[in-house]
Structure 1
Amino acid sequence: MIIDRRRFLAMSSAAIAGAAGLPKLSYAQNPSGKPLHGLSAFGDLKYPQGFSHFDYASPDAPIGGTFAFQPAYWYFNQNVQTFNTLNSFVRKGDAPPRMEMCFDALVVSSHDEPDAVYCHLAESVVISADRNSFTFKIRDIAHWHDGSPITAEDVAFSFKTIKEQGHPELSLPLAPLKEVRVDDPMTITLVFDGTQAAQDILSIAGLPIISKAWYTDNVFDASTLTPPLASGSYKVGRMNPGVYIEYERVDDYWAKELGTAKGFNHFQTIRIDFFKERQAGFEAFKKGATTFRQEFSAKSWATEYDFPAIQDGRVIKAHFDAEKRPRMQAWCLNMRRERFKDKRVRDAIAQCFDFEWTNRNLFYGLYERSHSIFAGSSYEAAGTPDAAETDLLKKLSVDHELPKGIYDDAYRQPASDGSGRDRNKLRGASKLLADAGWKPGDKGFLRNTKGETLDLEFLISASVFERIYGPFVETMRAVGINASLRLVDPAQYQARTSSFDFDMAGLALGWSPTPTASGLDAILGSKSAEIEGTRNWPALANPLVDAIIYEIGAAETRERHETGMRVLDRVLRLTREWIPNWRSANHRVAYWDIFGFKEPKPDYFWPVEALWWIDKEKADKLGKG
């Protein structure tokens, strides 16, 4: 789940205030006191000053046509199943995905580098000697869609307003920002208080820049369907709230010849249709109303992609390699509920899920078991801790109690016998619950000393999950848990998870390729545990986890960063606030054969709507020209 990071690096899951007092050593490879065209976490930049375009861009691709799809990822208050506001920068309401395409940022990131950003709206950045101030020179060619110039006053207004009123994932990274100084009409300096993590500027400089004039006349945090004045490569076109929205390409986009923008955004129109149920969206794709689809239902991929357009070659069914970034797909139990605070209860619930049976009978063998929330990356721990991990664990043990088993092989969730009711696992779950004080009671349900049942409502937003989670719920009930599924509409699901009003829910997302302290804090840190709108759904607030995140932010080298991440992975596997479930090693994609695209795809991010284009010869052949 990642948006176009050229525009909004900070809109990944890497958005919240960094750990206090982190040293700036890891950022020292980026020199101070001189204008820079880019920054990176460890001083590595692939592209030189004045580069013409990114290698994965396609400057010669044709412009035109419509890209119709349902997004596979979204952010903040965005909702892929409905929308009732165009304000994507605040918590309230349901906004459509890809509103971010309408806005520019000071920097954009490279999709073929793990942690590099390049000046975009800004033409240069200067780091102060104490590394607490960053001075950006705004490009004099930058302008809003109405032709008015983008100035330092707009940038200052943006950072101040977002810090005070923005969605938590936008506002919390700005906690250490103590001053936004307008040096001249085209120069802005961001001054931090010294508590920021060294690499936080990489995401902070990617925050959206909004128009001071427009938001002076319009309330920033209003839920509105009035398109805001923006500056990006697309603007809002036709729409029907909750049904569809179209974004129209800005032909005179001010940045189209810059190296950071050239060769992207080839479609004249990007259309998103909204469906509350997966099957309706699939039928629209089969008919050609939508032309690109990423399939997340294993059953559908295995059994339903045999319709006539597949058989005669008009629709291509393909796999694309997943990006080189950690992926998280996991459940959590809401520890704001007293009954889920005991790790033994969370472990017992995890034991009730039979992945082997589910994969064979419901997933057609298309998934593999996930044991880490950093799946598919070098941050996954394996075996016993190596020398560097051991050194870090010993350092942490001075002030923190380490979880039992931390020096053993990295915890892996036990496999079942594949029967769907593995008696050994169920006996283990029952013992864990008994040890946690839950004893057999009337009507077959476990009860605590107060006579309360162990209630668990599994919150879902689409009926497709009923088939998958139904057996899981029945197994929980078999061991005495009063478990149930609760299907709610998309708007209610977003409202309930944002306000932490649930027992159990699942989350899937993609971390930044090089996770920062601020990004980790957003989901795993104590600071975010009680801030509504963040993705710290389980209320994880563990001083040991905070200390590891501090060490990750302080890493001077990529090797030390990876060591810290693997130690974090070891700890989280044992503490069980997040319960990983399954993963896929690639993208399952189907598309009408009307597109052109460049191969290979970039390693770290794959925004198809920005990279592909209409191949007119193919489109004319299918009558979609």
Structure 2
Amino acid sequence: MVARRILGAVTCAVTVAAMLALGSAGAAPAQEAMHAISQHGTPKYGPGFTHFDYANPDAPKGGEIRLSAFGSFDSLNPFILRGQVAVGAGLVFETLTTGSGDEVTTEYGELAETITLAPDRSWVEYALRPQARFHDGRPVTAEDVIWSFETLKEKGHPHYRTYYADVVKAEKTGDRKVRFTFRDTGNSELPVIMGQLPVLPRHVFETRDFAATTLDPIVGSGPYRIESVQPGRGITYRRVEDWWAKDLPLNKGRYNFDRIRYDYYRDLDVAFEAFKAGGYDFRSEHSSKNWATGYDIPAVRDGQIVKEEIRHEDPRGMQAFVFNIRRPLFQDRRVREALNQLFDYEWTRANLSYGLYRRTKSYFANSELAATGTPGEAELKILEPYRGKVPEEVFTKAFEPPVTDGTGNIRPQLRTALGLFKQAGWELKDGKLVNVKTGEPMRFEILMVQADLERIVQPFVRNLERAGIQAAIRVVDSAQYQNRTDNFDYDMIIASFAQSLSPGNEQRDYWNSARADQPGSRNLIGIKDPVVDELIEKLIQAPDRDSLIAHTRALDRVLLWNWYVIPHWHDNVYRVAYWNRFSHPAVAPKHGLAVIDTWWVDPAKAARTPSTAPQTAN
């Protein structure tokens, strides 16, 4: 399950026994209406809870927060493949349920008042809240839910077809009830996934094309509506003061800003300077250079700007140089491993990352799901049927990316790389690495959208040159980058595969053979491996948490030892900087950075650190 936290609401009384029955995948839950649903375990918050622990129910409403975005946008429809959607567009909409920021696989009723699960998990039924309304005053109906499901599956982004592939039908079973019936009962994640369905107004799309990009605001039912749009330059959201769900316990202390404004920048260096000059309020810092050296300014020294590290327990997934193995050049595993030898992470960390971050060694980094050491008994039982079909190292070795001494001297790694290239049919001749059969030199392009990453990529390119490889850096604008990645038109890119603590159906979109040639899928690598396909399905069918962990680790090992990527780095803190006008709860969510969700304008701080925009709270 990809972590998804858009909006939320919950009220209703149910028996605790029913809630606990749902928590165990092996148990047969009673057919009772529940306030929450969990894939594995028991919901943290009972039916009588008053607010999430990481939200301040007494936080004042009001004021504005100004944020930045990179690139441009040409659409306000976040549910389709076409176009570049404006950041924040999800704030306008709601889903049937919402997850909390301190649990793994639990969803609480949002648009849905109650949730009923079949004893054999063959269906799940959601009963809508009678007070649920769209922004135009029309009620949210069962027909809207069914239309949303069918439309997203038929016309929405391809990942919806992946997510809903095992849903046989959606049907109205009562005045405000919708039931989703599943193809089989082994997919324990599906009932939870269906709660994450965005519910859209059917009546609005009777006169407009759902699949078309648009800059006309779409009616939603969420806490914010679009106030103004400057195409490609900026967008402002206004809090809905009469929002139907504002007094529900799940929303207490959340969505406190009256206005949320995003300004777009096409240059990240310009964006950084704009922040320091007061052009916007909050910045999540992803540049180690900026964090280490860029904030030595008066506004930081005198406390007008706050630098803060917020610890989290989020899985960090995998950020990496990603090979497109649809290209013949990268189809040999030995070539991919050899290219891994030429990335000097230790030198990069010491000289370019200021000693921050840690090397990523898993597709599920910073979590118990990551494969470590050699496989244990449970993993070996899963992997044994594939012996001879996966790299032998899967069974015998702990995965470790190549390690250098950090001095920039990569001669040992260069020798290893040239040996692997030779095994794969490439030799170094007259300073160029050439294919023995065709005489063609090895060359490829690294496609990028963020120019600031060139300082990381250029040393790698220089090491490639030492091996006789011609690598070119190509920086394109965000629109061209999205179009090329959607259509897999690249040799190598820098990309991230985000993960949650409950991997499941989304793994199909990342690695499944059927997604390799589907435009817009997240199978950026182009993997077509029957073993990977089977491991994904077994992971999805895992009956309990221990089984899920073992299956995830087994999948992780197979992906790692195929050298599909050159791993980068990760960390377990969010590094943020913000103008000292805001406060946030003392308790941070374990998962996610809930700035828009739970922060607020502090009137006393705002008086001391005035803004160019109104910042007073009601």
TM-score range (shorter-chain normalised) is over 0.9
Please give the secondary structure, in 1, of the residue aligned with 2:95: coil
**Matched residues in 2 for 1:52 and 1:8: separation?**
13
Superposition pairs of residues 404-423 of structure 1, within 5 angstroms: 404-423=392-411
Task: Write out per-residue CA displacement over residues 80-132 of structure 1, whole angstroms, 9 at most, x where no aligned residue.
Answer: 42101111111111011211111011111111111100111011122224422
Name the residue aligned to 2:523.
536
Q: 2:328 aligns with which of 310, 319, 338?
A: 338
Aligned to 1:367: 357
Residue correspondence of structure 1 range 463-482 to structure 2 within 5 A: 463-482=451-470
In structure 1, which of residues 373, 378, 388 is the aligned counterpart of residue 378 of structure 2?
388
* 1:431 correspondence with 2:419: yes
1:494 aligns with 2:492: no
Map Cα deviations across residues 226-265 of structure 1 (whole Å, 9 max, x no partner): 0011110011111211111111111111111112222210
Note the residue ranges of structure 2 that are not aligned, 5 or more in a row.
10-21
CA distance in 2, matches of 1:494, 1:195: 37
Q: Give 1:162's aligned residue.
A: 152
Distance 1:107 1:99, change over 3 A: same
- Aligned twin of 2:343: 353
Q: Which residue of 2 aligns with 1:310?
A: 300
| Structure 2 equivalent of residue 63 of structure 1 | 61
CA distance in 1, matches of 2:497, 2:599: 23
Structure 2 vs 1, CA of residues 196 and 150 (structure 1 numbering), >3 Å: closer, same or farther? farther
Q: Please state whether the residue corresponding to 2:450 is helix, strand or coil.
A: coil
Q: Aligned with 2:244: secondary structure?
A: coil
Partners in 1 of 2:534 and 2:75 — Cα distance? 39
- CA deviation map 1:424-445 (0-9, x unaligned): 1011111111111112356734
> What is residue 574 of structure 2 aligned with on the other side?
587
Give the 3-state SS of the residue equivalent to 2:493 in structure 1.
strand
- Per mean C-alpha deviation after superposition, the further-off stretch among 120-129 and 102-111 is 120-129
Residue 260 of structure 1 aligns to a residue whose secondary structure is helix
Q: 2 CA distance for matches of 1:6 and 1:100?
A: 6
Partner Cα distance (1:392, 1:85) in 2: 44
**Which residue of structure 2 aligns with residue 545 of structure 1?**
532
1:526 aligns to 2:478 (yes or no): no
TM (normalized to structure 1)? Answer: 0.92
For residue 195 of structure 1, report the CA deviation from its aligned partner.
7.4
1:361 and 1:227 map into 2 onto residues whose CA distance is 46
- 1:180·1:191 contact (CA, 8 Å) conserved in 2? yes
2:8–2:108 CA contact under 8 A, matched in 1: no
CA contact (8 A) 1:330 1:373 kept: no
What are the Cα deviations for residues 338-386 of structure 1, in whole angstroms up to 9, with x where unaligned?
Answer: 1110011111111111011111111111122111121111112222222
Deviations 1:269-298 (A, max 9, x none): 111111111111111111112111011111
Structure 2 CA distance for aligned equivalents of residues 172 and 261 of structure 1: 30
CA RMSD of aligned residues (A): 2.1
1:505 aligns with 2:493: yes
C-alpha contact 1:291 1:591 (8 A) present in aligned 2: yes
Secondary structure of 2:94's aligned partner: coil
Shift of 1:532: 1.1
Letter in 2 for 1:338: P
- Tell me the SS of whatever aligns to 1:358: helix
**Do 2:225 and 2:240's aligned partners in 1 also have CA atoms closer than 8 Å?**
yes
Output the CA distance in 2 between the equivalents of 1:222 and 1:620.
Answer: 45
**Aligned partner (choices 379, 393, 397) of residue 386 of structure 2:** 397
- For residues 215 and 509 of structure 1, the distance between their equivalents in structure 2, rounded to whole angstroms, comes to 33
TM-score (norm 2): 0.93
1:205 matches 2:203? no
Q: Distance in 2 between matches of 1:155 and 1:383?
A: 46
- Match in the other structure for 1:453: 441
Inter-partner Cα distance in structure 1 for 2:95 and 2:65: 24
Structure 2 equivalent of residue 244 of structure 1: 234
Change (3 A) 1:454 1:500: same
* Aligned residue in 1 for 2:135: 145
1:56 alignment partner AA: Y
Instruction: Label 1:539 to 1:195 Cα distance change in 2 as closer, same or farther (>3 A).
Output: farther
Describe how 1:105-120 pairs up with structure 2 within 5 A.
105-120=95-110
Match of 1:33 among 31, 34, 51: 31
Kept in 1: contact 2:316–2:571 (CA 8 A): no
Alpha-carbon distance between aligned partners in 1 of 2:441 and 2:573, rounded to the nearest angstrom: 41
Check the 8 A contact 1:62/1:613 in 2, yes or no.
Answer: yes
Length, aligned pairs only = 600
**Structure 1 runs of 4+ with >6 Å offset:** none
Instruction: Name 1:177's counterpart in structure 2.
Output: 167
The verdict on how the C-alpha distance between 1:390 and 1:591 changes in structure 2, with shifts beyond 3 A counting, is same
1:447-484 superposed Cα distances (whole Å, 9 cap, x missing partner): 34123222210011121111110110121122122211
Q: Give the Cα–Cα distance (whole angstroms) in 2 for the partners of residues 325 and 243 of structure 1.
A: 32
SS where residue 308 of structure 2 aligns?
strand
Alignment match of 2:606 (pick from 606, 610, 619):
619
Q: What SS does structure 2 have at the residue aligned with 1:274? A: strand
Q: What pairs up with 1:533-612 in 2 under 5 angstroms?
A: 533-612=520-599
**Which residue number in structure 2 is paired with residue 17 of structure 1?**
none
611 and 39 in structure 1: CA distance in 2 versus 1, 3 angstrom threshold? same
In 1, Cα distance between equivalents of 2:398 and 2:560:
8
Aligned 8 A contact 2:97 2:110 in 1: yes
Distance in 1 between the 2:343 and 2:74 partners?
36
- Does 120-129 or 243-252 show the bigger shift? 120-129
